[in-house]
Structure 1
């Protein structure tokens, strides 16, 4: 199970030139739905720079919408939470960044 690393995310998303922003812009996979709220351009719960949020949302918005509304990225027999865990793991493996922390259940 993974837990969102809010401190790392907030600190690094505040800098448009950070490795996190670059990694998210380069990442072509589907983001886990657990990043939908922190990346919200309307709510902006972490008070991140709007220009950074808009860039990342422009890249990933359609897949986040598809994942949230239609569960488009589920594999056969996979629950929504299992899909989110898999997408989280794929993101972590592709970026190598501590966006999420693995925690014991």
Structure 2
């Protein structure tokens, strides 16, 4: 079902004006929720994988997919993860890696 949803989403985006298209892509990128039952270390690992995949998309020329993943990464680590109840328990070393990735993105 995800493939069909992506195809429909891409078709919908193609019909939009460029400014509206970027706005819609940013909205997709902002769709991130943090589950307090999921350990923060899992989000940190997933975040690194998101950046890796975004870099692959970028290298392949799939700019929209790269943009969405970069936006999800930034939304997660700039806005959302700090509200996780166990965020204070994340080692400073792990947070430093995240900060470096944020600067890279």
TM-score after normalising by structure 2: 0.34
Higher relative contact order (Cα pairs below 8 Å, separated by 6+ residues):
1
TM-score after normalising by structure 1: 0.34
Bigger share in helix: 2
Bigger share in strand: 1
